[in-house]
Structure 1
Amino acid sequence: MSSDSSSRLHHVVIVGGGAGGLELATRLGDKLGKKGKAEITLIDRTRTHIWKPLLHEIAAGSMDPDKHQLEYIAQAHWHHFRYRLGSMDGIDRAKKEVYITPYYDDEGMEIIPRRTFKYDTLIIAIGSTTNDFGIKGASEYSIALDTQNQAERFHRRLHNAVVRAQTQVEPVKEGQLEVVIVGAGATGVELSAELHNTTRELTAYGMDKINPDRDIKISIIEASDRVLPALPPRLSDSVKLELNKLGVHVYTGERVTEVTEKGVYTHSGRFIPSELVVWAAGIKAPDFLSNLDGLEANRINQLVVKRTLQTTLDDSIFAFGDCAACPWPGHDSNVPPRAQSAHQQASMLVKTVKNRIAGKALPEYTYRDYGSLVNLGHYTTVGNLMGTLDGGSLFIEGLFARIMYQSLYKMHLMALHGFFVVFLQTLARIITRRTEAKIKLH
């Protein structure tokens, strides 16, 4: 069945409603859709959006997703674009068509049949997934934090483990309340700090049989020789020191060789027992991108793009964010897969689409690294800001760093809603926070 293909307006199809995709659809809808200069369609496999850097807070239970998620269909109504539910599984470049899989409910009943969408400009922003590198047992016995559903699944399992330990007759067994996090990137270290806090908060709500310092153990396994290997050593050292204070067990220089129902094995022969394993080591783009009607892709399935963000073999197809391999002039690597790069690319693509419709030259993307921030819950925040007077970076920590970290999320919200709406939402949460539990208790 063909959908939305009869209009004579230039049709921009955006696949993927993550931070970059939703920001782009919102701004194009406001600038082009509202004025009848183009039709904008956003396709995503879920009904709601939540900022991906918050998923570790949902997993730990320090954030209730119901209070932070955004309905795509409402955002589309407010900002003059169309939202369609579904997952892309192929394209026809000659016909300029996108193929969308059928959508099924939780009981396996087909709700939406397979569909085809015509496009004039196709923009792919489907993000990345965790890369388990084919490690034995990783896909069966570990949980990734790529989606809201995965984060909520981890939280349910964590909560159930604590409740089980509280109500059982025998003492808490070794490994029963232990969590192993594979990968000491930002997600891994931030999750470990959030878990340290929320597990102690959880046991305070009547879980009197559990001693968190004795019974709850959190471990991080990292193949590199330090935590946060992609960030400056000073930042890594500061985070490692804080994790040690929290009692988080950090194993660096250890490569996971197998994940089992009972725990994790490393290449040195070490076995770390665990009830829950989170896999946060490495990323890759979704597998189907590696053979998307002949488009060029790299070894981790990212679509290779030019600095205009056009794919190398088709100027009508763009890709950005984690699913794109974009050159970084002056470096021996591509643009890093960070939220800031996706935000910058989305901003440029607004101008790109306007120029493309008008037949003008397209801008080229230049990555601007503003630094990195790592938030360890309410314990501390550390980071480095780029662009000092001498061209280097400035190390920051504490309250100032936390304000900077929180401002990143506020910037994303303002891109979606505007300043006034975000101000009112923030004020409302400050008021209602006093009457709510500090963590999610179910």
Structure 2
Amino acid sequence: MPLHNALEKASKWHKVFIFVPAKGGRMETHDSQRTRDTDIVIIGGGAGGLELAVRLAKAGHKDVLLIDRETSHVWKPRLHEIAAGLGRRQVDELGYAGLAEQWGFRYECGTLESVNPEQRQITLAAIPGREDHASAEVPARVRGYCQLVLALGGVTPDMGVEGVLEHACLLDSPDNAERIAQQFSRGLLANHVAMEISPTGDAGASATQGDAQNGTEGGAQDSAKEPQWRPYQVMIVGSGATGVELAAYLHEARGMHDAPAPKGAKVEITILEATETFMPGVSQELRESIHQRLEEQGIKIELSRQVAKVSPGSVEISEGDESVTRDADLVVWAAGRVGPAIVEEIDALESNKKRQFTVTPGLQCLGHDSIFALGDCANIDEAPLPPTAQVASEQAEFLAAELPRRQQGEPAQAFEFKDRGTLLSLSSAGSVGELSGKLSDKLGNAQGSKGNDDLQVRGRFARAAYQGLQRQHQFLLLGPLKGSAEVVSDVLRRSMGPRLKVH
């Protein structure tokens, strides 16, 4: 069995500590002592961090260490599909160990605890062992670096709203997505079973059923009444791309169960937006197109709705000067994006209120010529960028060329974001989007439109463009041969296997 397969299999069952040396290297032992300085250390294996490691290794920079708390990588723009019931393997989960072995960089499992810029070293938190001794404790480790790249990603903030962390689901990781899928599936089934037992859905139902069993006249009359079904209530807080795509996919997933309601909709999905604008930051034309498609699917969209509290089975919503409580069997919190909590704990690096490191136009952390940041955890002062995989990917491409230049003492270059547009997959409601840049110019000229206009795309072309973003990511990480094989495998899974699975 290849080394990386054995390691990934072990980590799946025992959560073991993994260190994969560069191709041709040797396995090193670990203790709390500082090891030799690594040329380039990358913290975070998301779209940006992983692509950067692969690009550097491909260019011949073998002394590259990628550190991530997980053992595998999932393309996060597809987390909503996992949340709707699609398995991880069906969204092309890739093991870090295998990629490290393939391209020749090193991978280590760990969580960042602190950064010491003066000593040019980082500390990784200890990994606790299991009480059943299935896996041993791994002590804290210190790693030295010549250049450090922080690609920590982002998280969804609770906005200080009571009950969010306790009673709502987030969509920040594959584990979060699987939790949503399980809660949605089991909650839907429980709701149906409850309606079978208590058709009217209220306390009086059990009494009328008891009267019917006793043969009373009142019981006979009540039992003849048609059952009243309450739909399973899903509340999605936030009308960004994450919330909108999740709503569309959950709408499709509602039919993947063996217990259809005898009358009316089984699921009622509502998107709650705190502002007066649906999908802020998206063009008016695209916004209207998405709004129409969601409403045609029966998905409700409510604006100017601020959630004040989340409780088990309900949400409290502020509507002007009044507050109302609404039923909510499943609450998904998808409002906003900030950096992880560790950003605030690194006092030596300047950050903003959104827990993002403040960086120069060259993505260098202010005051530290050997530390860089990219993606959701970075903010170019006075020029904020959207928290998307597209931004992180472009920044990774930039740093793959910039880091070696800086090592040679060359002057810093400035990162320039080339916006390729916005694409969304709305499941059975189709795909829609807006293309920008060179592709938009070419297609726009072919259609007789102005070259500097954004191009609206829909249907199969939009779907192909949406899938193309991940295909580009796959080909970079896997190479042309394995990338092509993965594309074929994915197409076969989509065409032959079940679209979604029931948990």
The Cα offsets for residues 375-415 of structure 1, whole Å up to 9 and x where unpaired, read as 10132111111234442312221111111111011111111
Q: Which residue of 2 aligns with 1:183?
A: 238
What is the Cα deviation at residue 4 of structure 1? 7.2
Distance in 1 (alpha carbons) for counterparts of 2:363 and 2:384: 12
* SS at structure 1 position matched to 2:464: helix
Distance in 2 (alpha carbons) for counterparts of 1:437 and 1:285: 36
The Cα offsets for residues 118-153 of structure 1, whole Å up to 9 and x where unpaired, read as 011000001100012111111111011001111011
Question: Is the contact between residue 112 and residue 122 of structure 2 (CA under 8 Å) also seen in structure 1?
Answer: yes
Pairing of 1:73-222 with structure 2 (within 5 A) = 73-104=97-128, 111-168=137-194, 169-171=197-199, 173=201, 177-200=232-255, 202-203=256-257, 206-208=258-260, 210=261, 213-222=264-273
Q: Does the alignment pair 1:357 with 2:418? A: no
Q: 1:426 to 1:107 in 2, by over 3 A?
A: farther
Question: Is the contact between residue 180 and residue 278 of structure 1 (CA under 8 Å) also seen in structure 2?
Answer: yes
| TM-score, scaled to structure 1 | 0.91
Q: Out of 355, 380, 391, which is 1:326 matched to?
A: 380
Larger Rg: 2
105-114 or 290-299, larger mean C-alpha shift: 105-114
Q: 1:302 to 1:180 in 2, by over 3 A?
A: same
Among all aligned residue pairs of Structure 1 and Structure 2, give the percentage whose two residues are the same amino acid. Answer: 33
Distance in 2 (alpha carbons) for counterparts of 1:223 and 1:13: 40
What is the Cα deviation at residue 430 of structure 1? 2.8
User: Which amino acid letter does the alignment assign opposite residue 323 of structure 1?
Assistant: C
Question: Is the contact between residue 42 and residue 83 of structure 1 (CA under 8 Å) also seen in structure 2?
Answer: yes
| TM-score, scaled to structure 2 | 0.81
Q: Out of 40, 50, 65, which is 1:22 matched to?
A: 50
Q: Which residue of 2 aligns with 1:72?
A: 96
Q: Out of 221, 227, 230, which is 2:281 matched to?
A: 230
What is the Cα deviation at residue 157 of structure 1? 1.0
Q: Which residue of 2 aligns with 1:340?
A: 390
Q: Which runs of 5+ in 1 are unaligned?
A: none
What is the Cα deviation at residue 79 of structure 1? 1.1
Q: Which runs of 5+ in 2 are unaligned?
A: 1-30, 202-228, 442-449
Q: 1:396 to 1:223 in 2, by over 3 A?
A: same
Distance in 2 (alpha carbons) for counterparts of 1:154 and 1:217: 16
222-231 or 139-148, larger mean C-alpha shift: 222-231
> Which structure carries more strand by proportion?
1
What is the Cα deviation at residue 212 of structure 1? 8.3
Q: Which residue of 2 aligns with 1:13?
A: 41
Q: Which residue of 2 aligns with 1:399?
A: 460
Q: Which residue of 1 aligns with 2:343?
A: 289
Question: Is the contact between residue 434 and residue 456 of structure 2 (CA under 8 Å) also seen in structure 1?
Answer: yes
What is the Cα deviation at residue 158 of structure 1? 1.1
The Cα offsets for residues 271-304 of structure 1, whole Å up to 9 and x where unpaired, read as 3211110000011111221231321100111000
* SS at structure 2 position matched to 1:236: helix
Q: 1:416 to 1:110 in 2, by over 3 A?
A: same
User: Which amino acid letter does the alignment assign opposite residue 162 of structure 1?
Assistant: L
What is the Cα deviation at residue 90 of structure 1? 0.8
Question: Is the contact between residue 176 and residue 275 of structure 1 (CA under 8 Å) also seen in structure 2?
Answer: no
Pairing of 1:368-379 with structure 2 (within 5 A) = 368-379=418-429
CA RMSD, Structure 1 to Structure 2 (Å)? 2.0
User: Which amino acid letter does the alignment assign opposite residue 393 of structure 2?
Assistant: H
* SS at structure 2 position matched to 1:112: coil
Q: Out of 289, 292, 295, which is 1:241 matched to?
A: 292
